Amino acid sequence: MDAAVSEQNRAVVADQWRTTVAAAKDEGYDYFDWLGAVDQIGRADDFEVLLRLVDLDAERAVLLRTAIPRDDPRLDSIADIFPGAGWHERESGELFAITFTGGDQRRLLLPEDYVGAPLRKDTVLAARAGIDWPGAKEPGGAPSRRRMVPPGVPEPEIWGDRDPSAPQPQPDEIAGSAVGGRVRRRRR
Amino acid sequence: MSHGTIKLIEENCTSCMICARECPSWCIRIDSHTEPVRDLPAGARERTVNVLDRFAIDWSLCMYCGICVEECPFDALQWAAAPVPGTASAAGLTHEIDDLR
């Protein structure tokens, strides 16, 4: 497929996800390309679910996007409209802990005993918080004046070696502190 | 150029730590120290230079993504075609400067 395909973006209300997808299929967008999710933590308390459908004959494509709340993420399954979407729903479902109502709830990639949702941005790479990061050293081996943390591991004051009497960190605070680089002073 | 292994061009390395910090699999370990620059003209202020002591890549962790090669501002890392030779133990997969030349 070349770059001349005309792309369209459509925001969809979560309640109308199934009907909108079915309507798009009737419109001619009958080729399922992919379905995925994005954690919008820090910008909104939502997961964005995206679905790209292609109309191969008319060389046009549509990107349907909807937002579902992070604290109760559920969306109607579209696997009966596009059977190929089933695997994508299982993948996004387990990696973000999203429930696709009416879809296949079995695990696809993660082990059966895995706990957590690894693509949520507030998921901490706990195994890494415990081993030393090779990038923490400064060139020349001098003791570092700024403290550096690797991407994926939150600042110790927020998640690891924190003051036990302090209030529990918020998910967006953990995610915001796990971007790596210099340890910042706590914003409070 | 096939991506068999990553070569270190020691003369180009300034021990800046960028590759070790960018590496997503934490497989690069660097030790370095500073030395004063000798033979400075009279009256010039003292200067130091970083000297590389250890540069090691653990091939049991490396996922051959090439981010270190891309990120190195001094072109001290380079793809090489020859694959990493097999060893009897995981420890043997940590290659030091001499193995990476």
Please, are residues A30 and A24 in contact by the beta-carbon 8 Å criterion? no
Interface test with chain B among A128, A131, A133, A137, by most B beta carbons within 10 Å: A137
If you average pLDDT over residues A115-141, what whole number do you get? Answer: 82
Residues 33-92 of A with CB under 8 A from B: none
| Residue in B closest to A142 by C-alpha | B33
- How much of chain A exceeds pLDDT 90, in percent? 53
Residue A8 has pLDDT above 90, yes or no: yes
CA distance A103 to A116: 20
Residues 22-81 of B with CB under 8 A from A: 22-24, 26, 28-34, 48, 50, 53
Structure confidence at residue B97 (pLDDT): 94
Residue A156 has pLDDT above 90, yes or no: no
Q: Which residues have C-beta within 8 Å of that of residue A15, sequence separation ≥ 6?
A: none
Do A49 and A136 lie in a common domain?
no
Summarised one tens digit per residue, pLDDT across range A158-181 is 776 777 787 777 777 777 777 776
Which has more pLDDT, A151 or B77?
A: B77
Do A131 and A73 lie in a common domain?
no
Within a domain: residue A145? yes
Q: Which domain holds residue A173?
A: 126-178
**What fold does the segment set B1-38+48-79 form as a domain?**
Alpha-Beta Plaits (3.30.70)
| Residue in A closest to B36 by C-alpha | A140
Within a domain: residue A186? no
Domain ranges of chain B: 1-38+48-79
Structure confidence at residue A176 (pLDDT): 75
Do A166 and A82 lie in a common domain?
no
Which has more pLDDT, A45 or A142?
A: A45
Closest-CA distance, A131 to chain B, in angstroms, reads: 10
ipTM of the complex: 0.77
Do A136 and A94 lie in a common domain?
no
Residue A70 has pLDDT above 50, yes or no: yes
Contact B15 A140 (CB under 8 A): yes
Structure confidence at residue A188 (pLDDT): 43
Do A89 and A131 lie in a common domain?
no
- To 10 degrees, the CA torsion angle through A147, A153, A156, A160? -160
Do A150 and A94 lie in a common domain?
no
Residue A54 has pLDDT above 70, yes or no: yes
Do A32 and A71 lie in a common domain?
yes
- Which range among A6-15, A64-73, A164-173, B61-70 shows the weakest confidence by mean pLDDT? A164-173
Within a domain: residue A185? no
- Count of domains forming chain A: 2
Structure confidence at residue A2 (pLDDT): 54
The strand order across the sheet containing A31-39 reads A6-11, A60-69, A46-55, A31-39
Measured between CB atoms, which of A128, A131, A139 is closest to B17? A139
If you average pLDDT over residues A87-93, what whole number do you get? Answer: 96
Within a domain: residue A134? yes
Closest-CA distance, A95 to chain B, in angstroms, reads: 19
Closest CA to B8 of B69, B62, B51, B85: B69
- Which range among A33-47, A102-116, A156-170 shows the weakest confidence by mean pLDDT? A156-170
Structure confidence at residue A184 (pLDDT): 56
Amino acid type, A69: P
Please, are residues B12 and A123 in contact by the beta-carbon 8 Å criterion? no
Contact B32 A141 (CB under 8 A): yes
Please, what are the averages of pLDDT over each run of 10 residues along chain B (101 residues)?
91 93 92 90 88 94 94 95 90 93 89
* Element spanning A157, H or E: none
Do A146 and A77 lie in a common domain?
no
Which has more pLDDT, A57 or A2?
A: A57
Instruction: Please state, in angstroms and as integers, the Cα–Cα distance from residue B4 to each residue in A170, B19, B31, following that order.
Output: 44, 18, 25
Structure confidence at residue B71 (pLDDT): 94
